[in-house]
A and B are shown apart, each in its own frame.
Chain A
Amino acid sequence: MRIESPKQLAALRKDLLAKDKQTTKKLMVCCGPGCLANGAGKLVTEFRNTLKKKHIKGISVEILKETGCHGFCEQGPLVVIEPEGIFYTHVKPADVETIIEESLRHDYVIDGLLYTDHRTGERKRTYHDIDFYSKQTRIALRNLGKIDQYSIDDYIMHGGYQSMAKVLTSMTPDSVISEVKTSGLRGRGGAGFPAGKKWESCAKADDWPHYVVCNGDEGDPGAFMDRSIMEGDPHSVIEGMIICAFAVGARNGYIYVREEYPLAVQNLQLAIKQATDYGLIGEKILGTEFSFEIKVNRGAGAFVCGESSALMKSIAGEVGEPRAKYVRSVLKGLHDHPTVLNNVESYANIPVIIDKGGEWFAKIGTPKSTGTKAFSLVGKVRNTGLIEVPMGTTLREIIYDIGGGIQDDRPFKAVQTGGPSGGCLPDDKLDLPVDFDTLTDAYSMMGSGGMIIMDDRTCVVDVAKYFLKFLVDESCGKCTPCREGLYQLHALAQKISDGLGTEDDIVKMEKLSDVIIMGSLCGLGKSGPNPFVSTIRYFRDEYLAHIKDHKCPAGVCTALIRYDIIPEKCDGCMACIFACAVNAITGRKGKVHTINQDICTKCGACMAVCRRHAVEVS
């Protein structure tokens, strides 16, 4: 079926809404990355088969919806029964029959599957009652967990493609750009460049054709917001791109998705096919003169391709090396033509901005950073998951109110934002409001939105070393200061972590960092030393502990720690002996075991298997 006019689109939505009213209950199974990895796929099959067998009145297989990431990954796999919002956690295939019988056939709520508040011990009936959800504002993630990720009809029913219809029939490119400018939307990929300004420069460029590119190369480790949007709500990205293409006069668009996200590629391709069948992409969209096509490009596992100019080279089938940006990509981008490149989350915001108006959007957040921002809250935090909060929310609110504090109530040490190029912030920065400028002023950065929480058992030297290693591997090698400098920086960090560092090494590292920052072309090199620069600023003591005392306070750096068995606690169960890959542990059954320090590789396997916590690290 092809939709020929906005009227037909509205009629389709009306039909879908009427049909939807007839179903009393909906069963939403979260199929986000976290839940899928936890077995949500099996759950869906089980629900489908059981629903087919049951023949309950008013309840058919159609009520089953495979949604995008609901957010609360820690509790997955998640199942939500709408419209009430009853929220079941850690659901297993064995629970399927009970859920259908009790909660779908009747209205009983199964207590055992509800979420328990760790502070009060109270069981929460619906997700609206849970702090993790009630403190969020969702714009870019508005449809995640609410619509079926494979269904264009569901998207249209929830108001999808209405903004596109509005733009194509009642707005001019200029008025679209001015609306986006009014909204104050800044690029969600990390740099925070005003989207409206970018669109305006591209629209004005007198060199045709123009291109629209969506950056879905979410390379920052610990970030999965864009993945969740591309998988769970692909149409919102497509709609945002169509609106952008109309504003800048582009006919072709590309979505560049990283290789590690095969499901995102699959869902986007399905969404593009559905939209093309409906005539929402292609020639003469909705009967207007506007035509637009979208292609999905798969990345091939290179972090640097998240950089705009490298990404465009990769789309053209070349090695992804960034170029000097004397001329910006809005003027000479893909195939040397004017190109607008925005991040997935930026595009997902666009339909809402058009629908509710730029002014509405600008009222949310802070004056200079408007709207909301999605974060993936991960690490040693109690409630790992995908969240979206207004700009200006403090780190403390995010970590303690939404995140529920630190795992096992250990002390908070640092929060790492902005991926490898970002920085670590200590506890006295917890009351900082999260927006683009404040984080940059605190020597970290917003980045794409990964927020990694660390506790007292995380070593900052080790973290800095980890990020430097990451960047050494991912540097494209074009600029010498980045290629060689980061290598040396990592070698020095390794030296410190091995307990062989001197205070002079820190001075050397600081000088070297300055050179790398000054002498590199792209963002990867310019922000490459950040993992070191920010940790040395806030955690100098910990570096000095490694250098002067030859101690790793967090018990991570293997050269500076030892594992021992506490004789009083060991019951001689031999579990650690079987776990040890290098046969460093000796002892007979029922007798206290000992670790031979000469053989021990400090892998921690013994500690992981010991049920009596008899292995200590010092």
Chain B
Amino acid sequence: MKHDLTKIPEIIGRYPQEPGSLIAVLQDIQKEFNFLPCEALTATAEALDVPLSKVFSVSTFYNAFCLSPRGEKIIRVCMGTTCHIRGAKQLLEQLETRLNIKAGQTTKDMQFTIEVVNCVGACALAPVVIINEEYHGNCKVSDAKRFTRRKHEKEEA
């Protein structure tokens, strides 16, 4: 997969060139590429004058950062307490079985990524699944089939 790495200097330039901007810069890079490309990490380290090891340490410490490319459809399953007791775990297992990947992984065809998230604050609708920023509330285990339908399957259904 090709990424337009020429955008990196512009993104880094949005913030003051100091170590304190590290998290904000990484967030913007991730927003642009959907993950943190290796080249971006080295460029950030140089520009902000932070050791690369520290950039790596920050990008692995925080859950929001992802070092490998993610799928077209990012399925985020809320694992907040409310969602848990209303059956989010079963739903997640079902999604994992259907896509044959574990949470945090991406399918080989780069169509789906499953992620878990700790409470999005929409507990009234538990269990909640967020697919590319779109909220789906009161999900049932049986909804997993609908969520994991691939593009070509849609036409048949």
Contacts and interface: CB of A to CB of B under 8 A. Distances in A.
Interface of A: 33-34, 36-38, 73-74, 76, 218-224, 227-228, 259-261, 297-303, 314-320, 376, 378-380, 384-385, 416, 419, 450, 452, 454, 458, 463, 466-467, 470, 474, 476, 578-579, 581-582, 601, 603-605, 608-609
Nearest to B65: A300
Given A319-B57, A378-B124, A608-B140, A37 B82 contact: no
A454 to B, nearest CB: 6
B58 interface: yes
A73 B124 contact: yes
A320 to B, nearest CB: 7
Contacts of B79: 221, 470
Contacts of B135: 36-38
B118 A303 contact: yes
Contacts of B118: 219, 221, 260, 301, 303, 470, 474
Interface string B74-95: 0000011111111101100110
A167 to B, nearest CB: 30
Nearest to B140: A608
Given A301-B63, A320-B61, A378-B126, A603 B20 contact: no
Contact of B121 (A33, A314, A320): A33
Given A220-B119, A300-B23, A581-B144, A416 B81 contact: yes
A380 B89 CA distance: 16
22 contacts: A34-B125, A221-B119, A222-B81, A224-B122, A259-B62, A260-B120, A261-B121, A298-B24, A300-B23, A300-B26, A301-B117, A317-B20, A320-B61, A378-B123, A452-B81, A452-B85, A470-B79, A476-B61, A579-B145, A605-B141, A605-B144, A608-B87
Contact of B80 (A222, A317, A380): A222
The 3 closest A-B pairs by CB, nearest first: A73-B124, A224-B121, A301-B63
Interface string B45-79: 00000000010011001111100000000000001
Interface in B3-21: 19-21
A582 B98 CA distance: 9
A37 B122 contact: yes
A73 B24 CA distance: 32
A228 B122 CA distance: 10
B24 A34 contact: no
A162 B64 CA distance: 39
Given A221-B119, A454-B85, A608-B142, A76 B27 contact: no
With most chain A CB atoms within 10 A of its CB, the pick from B26, B119, B141 is B119
A379 B85 contact: yes
A380 B85 CA distance: 8
B63 A300 contact: yes
A17 B79 CA distance: 45
With most chain B CB atoms within 10 A of its CB, the pick from A224, A300, A314, A582 is A300
A303 B62 CA distance: 9
A304 B97 CA distance: 31
B128 interface: yes
A297 B80 CA distance: 23
Nearest to B80: A221
Nearest to B137: A37
Given A259-B64, A604-B87, 17 more contacts: A37-B128, A73-B123, A219-B119, A221-B80, A221-B83, A222-B123, A261-B121, A297-B24, A301-B62, A301-B64, A302-B63, A303-B118, A317-B58, A319-B57, A379-B85, A476-B61, A604-B90
A579 B125 contact: no
Contacts of A454: 85
